[in-house]
Amino acid sequence: MTRHTVTTRETVVMTESSEPRRPRLALLMGDVAGVGPELVARVLANCQHNWQPLVVGHPDVLTRALRLVGLDTNVRHVDSPCHNNQAADSQYVNCWNPSDSDVANAPAAQVDPRCGRAAADWLQAAAMAALDGHIDALVTAPLNKTALAAAGIDGPGHTELLAQACQCQSVAMMLYLPPNTAASTAASTAASTISNSSGLGVAHATLHTSIASVPGLLSVDGITDHISLLDQFLRQVGCVAPRIAVCALNPHAGEDGLFGDEEQTTIAPAVTSAVAAGIDAHGPFPADTLLRRAVNGEFDGVVAMYHDQGHIALKLIGFDSAVNVTLGLPLIRTSPSQGTAFDIAWQGTANPAGMQAAVDVALELCHNRTPTPSGPRHDSGQDTRLED
């Protein structure tokens, strides 16, 4: 029998229940000038009773988004993530707003520093709540990097901001296609579904940075770490013996140094190091054919050298299904692969498939996660990364 807390705004009462505790997922609105609030509302419209949602954002914005998608669900403001226990058949949704940035009436489809500030505040607060054990996973709607910069935020995206918040040095941005993901109609030459029984993960050795800066950011240790993080994730989602391939940086994998020597000096030694650590790693392989081989089932995971090298292929194959997962954090964070989509913001036409996929992957990771002691975690120094 499991003990859990039932919380009101006034008291916290311990009760007994024979039911397993439902995972607590924080749904972050992201930049409210974009499609984020609508994506959150549409996920809530299809919310199953096997998890507890906590929206992190502005309650007035959430109410507008719910009405936009035709829901009359009531919004209840809570002043702490501790106050999120609610019945599975509840007729309201809890919303926590840990930001002083006034975005209630922020205009749609415009870069606004208030929206950037709020999105960053919500992310920071939600990360701390997860580290303290009050939230089981973060599912983040898109934010706008220009709005972040306008607000003076030091960090271009979710991955970098979460790494700062969690004080993590080695993190990876990964796009993940769950098992049986149907290929996009645009990818007519791709397999009809992802062949890998545990899905396909593509981690990136660098984050949001210029193409010109990529060669200087690559290192043997860094690429080795990313291979290891990807191996750990794939084991977490049920891949018993992950087969990982590593992309070359240069065309034709450098042609023995004719088009660059990063493959010889940096990438190949990283693969060798990973193999020595017991990982089934291969490469470097030319990127123009590697992703096709992985989709067809030859590899379970791929390490790309930079953002577009991995993103273009996976978004072409499964734009509405690809889930962004941040590896290397002591918490679970997923998001859809799309951006703020200002061109359709607040028009009631946003496709929630990617956001729903992000929720589904977060739930799977919650169920498979190695248990950790309760109580504050960010001060304990304990490594709570996903483990096999």
Mean local confidence (pLDDT), 237-246: 97
- Most confident among 76-85, 230-239, 375-384 (mean pLDDT): 230-239
pLDDT of res. 335: 98
Q: How confident is the model at residue 3 (pLDDT cuts 50, 70, 90)?
A: very low
pLDDT of res. 104: 97
Mean local confidence (pLDDT), 293-307: 96
**Of how many residues is the chain composed?**
388
Percent of the chain with pLDDT strictly greater than 70: 85
The domains located in the chain, with CATH, are: 1-168+329-388 (3.40.718.10), 172-326 (3.40.718.10)
Q: How confident is the model at residue 83 (pLDDT cuts 50, 70, 90)?
A: confident
Q: What is the pLDDT of residues 92-126, one digit of tens each?
A: 999 999 999 999 999 999 999 999 999 999 999 99
CA 359 to chain centre: 10
Q: What is the pLDDT of residues 167-205, one digit of tens each?
A: 999 999 999 999 877 555 444 444 446 778 899 999 999
> Is 285's pLDDT higher than 60?
yes
Give Dmax (Cα) for the chain. Answer: 70
Residue among 30, 38, 40 nearest 112 (CA) = 30
Q: How does DSSP classify residue 345?
A: T
Q: Counting Cβ atoms within 10 Å, is residue 209 exposed (0-12), middle (13-18) or buried (19+)?
A: middle
The CA distances from residue 284 to 204, 216, 257, 268, in Å, are 14, 18, 13, 6
Q: How confident is the model at residue 49 (pLDDT cuts 50, 70, 90)?
A: confident
Percent of the chain with pLDDT strictly greater than 90: 79
Q: How confident is the model at residue 19 (pLDDT cuts 50, 70, 90)?
A: low
Mean local confidence (pLDDT), 301-329: 95
pLDDT of res. 284: 98
List, in sequence order, every residue forming a beta bridge with 338; answer none if it has no partner: none
Q: What is the rounded CA–CA span in Å between residue 85 and residue 52?
A: 7
